[in-house]
A and B are shown apart, each in its own frame.
Chain A
Amino acid sequence: MIQHTETAVVCRGVKKVYGEGASSVQALRGVDLEVRSGELLMLVGPSGCGKTTLISVIAGILDPTGGECIVFGENLAAMPQSRRTAFRGKSIGFVFQAYNLLPALSAAENVAVPLLILGQRRAQALQRAQAALEKVGMGDRSHSRPSQLSGGQQQRVAIARALVHDPRLVVCDEPTSALDADTGQRVMSLLREVAIAPGRALVIVTHDSRTFHFADRIARMDDGHIESITDNAAEPASARHAP
């Protein structure tokens, strides 16, 4: 079992307000949260409670209105835009609800995109992409276009893309919501199997209660703040991860 020793993400009093004046919406109302290295943390809660806004802030693609979010010792909001972008490219992997694969690229080319962004040569990037696809069981579909793959297969390609550059933090937004129950379970199982690594943290936003047992900890959100954090670690892993 992976030891959760280092702190990957620390959020202190994070607030986010969209809009101004009377029409403004307070999405985060002072969130305090810690994500540890080597753990899978799930952010759960009803729609509109601020889960997606919180992972956007954690991933450095949204600026908080107040408070701070330290990711591996770096305050992303305080960084210049160019450094923050570079940090994101190097240290963060993304898995999206709608996969967001580029339709014109093959599975391998899609997986290679983060490496190409980091400036790696194409041949080398494709080689690593192929290895990442093997890892998620999609090695034989590396030449397929997204339109030729099922939803579950596309999400596996997206997982390979999120991990190919060996990021320290992986953020997943509703990775199973577009999938049927069985495929969702398999995708979560795969995420746990291939994404959890020493020094890497996984934050998954979901409201799919059937996948909660894959988490090490569950942070429940409501109305822009964390209501409670449940530690699943007390339960035996084998019992928790059984579908």
Chain B
Amino acid sequence: MNLVALKMLLGDKLKYIALVAGLAFAALLVTQQASIFTGYAKRTGAWIRDTGAADLWVMDPQLEFTEDRKPLLDTALSRVRGVDGVEWAVPLYKGWLRTRLPDGTLVTTRVIGLDDATLVGAPPEMIEGQLEDLRRDRTIFVHADQVGDALRLREPFAGEGPRPLRVGDVVSINDHQLEVAGVYRSTAEFFWDPLIFTTYSRALSIAPAERKQNSFVLVKVRPGEDVALVAERIGSSTGLVARTPEEFESVTMNFVLSKTGILINFGVTIVLGFVVGALAAGQTFYMFVLDHLRHYATIKAMGASTWMLIRMVALQVSVVATIGYGIGVGAAAAAGVLTRGTGLAFEMPWQVPVLGGFAILFCALAAGLLGLVRVLRVEPAVVFKG
């Protein structure tokens, strides 16, 4: 009877298309929104991932995410270096400073100060200039995507109209003249203030003087040492907290999700996707069943068991759910590919299609149950009504 069930479904083209479209729309909405949400959530840890080489990030225990500023005493670095199991440890500065572009435009920027000797934590890819250029006097690196955006010269300058900031331009950070020596590219971030790289000592020299200035200590654990154990030792001997990059990413992401509305906003959209999908599919399938009630009743009168009817309805719902799911997830993935490079955060790990699958299963179950109840309740005697 499977073929009969399928032909009944495919024979009613309009409702079949409406059912598939409803479920595809729900799958698209759920998976696309979940992918964008995942993309944004993942971007919160982009800078940590790009910083790379360190096994541990040592920070103030009260620090809640990457953009939090709770600096450490300068002595923290040497205390960490003294902990058993530490191969090397370098300081990292992160602070918010006002940057004046050559045309006078003021921009709030995040300045990263890398260890002068090793440049650990440098940008992953240089577009213009070389990493060594940072060792030259009074130099900085700027982000390739930001030179034409937040760091764009908006006013005419030196006989030129508005243009992107470029290598050779001199900017003023906290009233210190610095030259753009390189343009880098890094993983897109959730946070938006332009990220400027310089050396640690230069960053301290241009930043306002404070008793505590070092933001993080980056630690490489000696080969063969247990990272968790070394982190514990650092914690007990310095009073600071040492986190693996994954832990720090997770802390940052949790903070951002709990302090901003993005989880609720995306969550609401995803739930709406569920609800709209369930309602649309449920209503359309119910209409399909109502239209075919006489046929189900005929089949019932001719001796179809309850189990056979359940199988027929389940097959009909499964087919539209599978096709709708495929189209929806496919469309979401295609949208992700098409919007790549536009700045839209889009990440579709395997969990997202699984979530979409559950959503569509839920919608299909709702639709199937509504229809099935009607089919099982139909009195076969209606077949004798003209």
Contact = CB atoms under 8 A, between A and B. Distances in A.
B7 A52 contact: no
A109 B2 CA distance: 12
B386 A89 contact: no
Interface stretch (A115-123, A148-156, A195-203): A115-123
B294 A117 contact: no
A178 interface: yes
B11 A85 contact: no
Interface string A75-97: 00000011001111110101011
Contacts of B301: 59, 61, 88, 94
A85 B305 contact: yes
Interface in B1-59: 1, 3-4, 7-8, 10-12
B10 A61 contact: no
A194 interface: no
A55 B383 CA distance: 12
Q: Please classify the interface of chain B as helix (H, G, I), strand (E, B), loop, or mixed, using the class held by over half of its residues.
A: helix
Contacts of A137: none
Contacts of A100: 294-295, 298, 383
A221 to B, nearest CB: 15
Interface in B283-331: 294-295, 298-306, 308
B289 to A, nearest CB: 14
Interface range for A: 35 or more
Contacts of B384: 52, 55-56, 96-97, 173
A104 B381 contact: no
A49 to B, nearest CB: 14
A109 B10 CA distance: 15
Contacts of A117: 1, 299, 302-304, 308
Nearest to B307: A82
Contact of B303 (A56, A86, A174): A86
A202 to B, nearest CB: 16
A178 B306 CA distance: 31
A52 B383 CA distance: 10
Contacts of A96: 298, 383-384
Given A56-B381, A109-B4, A122-B3, A94 B302 contact: yes
Interface in A157-195: 173-174, 177-178
Nearest to B305: A85
A141 B385 CA distance: 27
Given A102-B4, A117-B1, A88 B383 contact: no
A114 B302 contact: yes
B383 A94 contact: yes
B95 interface: no
A87 B305 CA distance: 11
Contacts of A243: none
A118 B302 CA distance: 10
Contacts of A33: none
B380 interface: yes
Interface range for B: 20 to 34
B381 A61 contact: yes
A105 interface: yes
A94 B294 CA distance: 14
A126 B331 CA distance: 40
Nearest to B9: A104
Nearest to A56: B381
B303 A114 contact: yes
Contacts of B305: 82, 85-86
A76 B385 CA distance: 22
A104 B7 contact: yes
Contacts of B4: 102, 105, 109, 113, 116
A50 B384 CA distance: 12
Given A85-B305, A94-B302, A178-B386, A102 B8 contact: yes
B299 A103 contact: no
A92 to B, nearest CB: 8
Interface in A22-62: 52, 55-56, 59, 61-62
Interface in A105-142: 105, 109, 113-114, 116-118, 122
Nearest to A161: B302
A88 B302 contact: yes
A103 B386 CA distance: 16
A59 to B, nearest CB: 7
A98 interface: yes
Contact of B10 (A59, A104, A116): A104
B8 A104 contact: yes
Contacts of B3: 109, 116, 122
B7 A109 contact: yes
Contacts of A102: 4, 7-8, 11, 295, 298
23 contacts: A55-B384, A59-B301, A61-B380, A82-B305, A86-B305, A88-B302, A89-B303, A92-B303, A94-B298, A94-B301, A97-B386, A100-B294, A100-B298, A104-B8, A104-B11, A104-B12, A105-B7, A113-B299, A114-B303, A116-B1, A116-B4, A117-B303, A122-B3
Given A103-B11, A173-B384, 11 more contacts: A55-B384, A82-B306, A86-B303, A89-B302, A102-B298, A104-B11, A109-B4, A114-B302, A116-B3, A117-B302, A122-B3
Q: Which 10 A-B pairs have the closest CB atoms?
A: A89-B303, A104-B11, A61-B380, A100-B298, A104-B7, A97-B386, A88-B303, A56-B381, A52-B384, A173-B384
